[in-house]
Amino acid sequence: MPNISQTNYPHGLAVDEKLAEPPEPAVFDKNETTTSSETENGEPFVVKNGDEAGRFLRDYDVAAIVAEATDDYRAIVRKIDFFVLPLLFGTYALQNIDKSCLGYAAVFTLSKDLGLVGTEYQWLASLFYFGYLVCEYPTTLLSQKFPIGRFIGLWGSILVATTGAENFSGMAALRFLLGALESLITPTFIVINGMYYTRKEQVLRTGAWAAANGFGAMIGGIIAWGMGQVETVGISSWKYIFIINGSITIVWGVIVYFFLPTSPMKARFLTEKQRVLAVHRIRSNKTGILNRKFKWYQVVEILTPWRDPQGLLLFLALFCNEILNGGLGAYGGLTIKSFGFNSLQTTLINIPQGFINMCCIFTGGWLAQKIPNGRIWVAIGMLVPTFIGLLLQIILPRSNVAGLLTGVYMFPPYATSLFICLSLPGVNSSGYTKRITLSSTAFLGYALGNICGPFMVKEGENPPYRSGFIADIICIGLQGFFLVILRWHYVRENKRRDRLLDEGQIQNALIDEFADKTDLELPGFRYVVSHVF
């Protein structure tokens, strides 16, 4: 490799790095992930248990490949976008459709057919997220060893099996299993973002596949409306919703199994040199790509908020956000039905919310990338329309159906705040185990919020669901507060590190590249508060 005395990163940092005497080079063990760089004397730094990207690059003359490359990096990004994003988009759309099938079925005869009484419907809505809560961390770890297509096919099978449920107990078990299998999707997608895209690119790509949340709501609503008109003796209309969506998911799982690579090092749609360039361009993230060795000390960093408060603050922000999602997901359709519409009318009226959701997520992702220092401010701003929509449900008379529906169509923007928050673990943490743990901590708040959300609603109150709307308004205010604190932490920490750099601290040392160190161990790491870091 070339003699490098200065490391220049796209963050605008140029750090003069006179490296100290290197340690004795370790012996390479083919069973261990190892990262290697060279010192100025041409002797290798070998980092045991480093990121797999370092091991991959070690086999190539990266400098020569970069010098000879005829491909523009933007061309490689476009190729990744073309092959990877559609698979993520389709999977995320199906995930949203499949977990929402209960809500679609609720406006038909599901409760009557299963003999649901009291709070049993609320428990069915929540049990999906109990499965999510219990299994999200282990399934995310398993996804690094097994293709996620297997999990997708399994949850499709669970969805089809749901049609055989005859009572609360049977449906409850299947909802738990569905949540367990779907739990790995979003955390795994956050990790995939970090594998293929720079930190600047990630928020827009997160918005691209997260927008499938709204697209799935539209398609799911259309399917539910169509199946609601099917009348077959002995088979309730709502069962066809599960059969059709489950069958589509099984087929999609096979497609994902064969076409979604586990990392850019395995991407068959790239040439060998393009794979090297794809990995090389991610060096500026300082977050690594893949490491299969579990490191407990990185878990401890996230679980000790006095050392790193990111985990706690993201947990609280997502908990508040998902209390809204849990309540609106379970009762959104029933809220519209309470305005005086029948089941089919309710399903049709609910479809535009998916389109609004998709547009908001696209717009929010674009704004978060374009507005200087605006990522978290955009997340907070997207809560405002939802706040107004909820307020309208409380203050408007029930006779003002147009006003109430306008309020309902103002609900979706809060989901944009969720996905901006979900992009943060991928860009604001380093160390593979730490990044997965931070994502899982955030999703712990996600799952608990969705569990609690349906129970914020009191049955039989007048006007309907008022208590849930009040709880949601309070949660919006709390989420905004936690995000302000999180942004303050990022800004303060960046300023502290800049000050140490000005005082002569050596940052961005070559030995740290792909060493699978955490952001607390990397003095050259800077936290994202804008589009430029």
Three-state SS across 170-238?
HHHHHHHHHHHHHCCHHHHHHHHHHHHCCHHHHHHHHHHHHCHHHHHHHHHHHHHHHHHCCCECCECHH
For the segment 390-418, the average pLDDT, to the nearest whole number, is 93
pTM of the model: 0.74
pLDDT of residue 407: 94
SS3 168: helix
Judged against a pLDDT cut of 70, whether residue 19 lies above it is answered with: no
The predicted-structure confidence for 258-308, as pLDDT tens digits, reads as follows 999 878 888 889 888 888 888 888 776 555 555 556 778 888 888 888 989
Residue 141 has pLDDT above 80, yes or no: no
Render pLDDT for 75-112 as a digit per residue (tens, 0 to 9).
Answer: 888 999 999 999 999 999 999 899 888 888 888 888 88
In terms of pLDDT, which residue wins out, 173 or 530?
173
Local confidence band at 312 (pLDDT 50, 70, 90 cut-offs): very high
Q: Are 180 and 134 in contact (CB under 8 A)?
A: yes
Q: How far is CA 392 from CA 190, 385, 400, in A?
A: 35, 11, 10
The Cα 407–Cα 342 span in angstroms is: 19
Mean pLDDT for the chain?
A: 81
Q: Which of 219, 241, 217, 246 is nearest to 229 (CA)?
A: 241
Tens-place pLDDT, residues 233-261 = 667 888 888 999 999 999 999 999 999 98
Determine the Cα–Cα distance for residues 401 and 403; give it in Å rounded to an integer: 5
* Contact present, 52 and 310 (Cβ < 8 Å): no
For residue 49, is it left (φ>0), alpha (ψ between -120 and 50) or beta?
Answer: left
What pLDDT digit, counting tens, does each position of 171-225 carry? 999 999 999 988 888 888 887 887 888 877 887 888 888 889 889 989 988 888 8
Average pLDDT of the residues in 26-41: 39
Q: pLDDT of 433-451, one tens digit each?
A: 888 888 888 888 988 998 8
The yes-or-no verdict on residue 384 having pLDDT over 60 is yes
CA 184/CA 203 separation, integer angstroms: 19
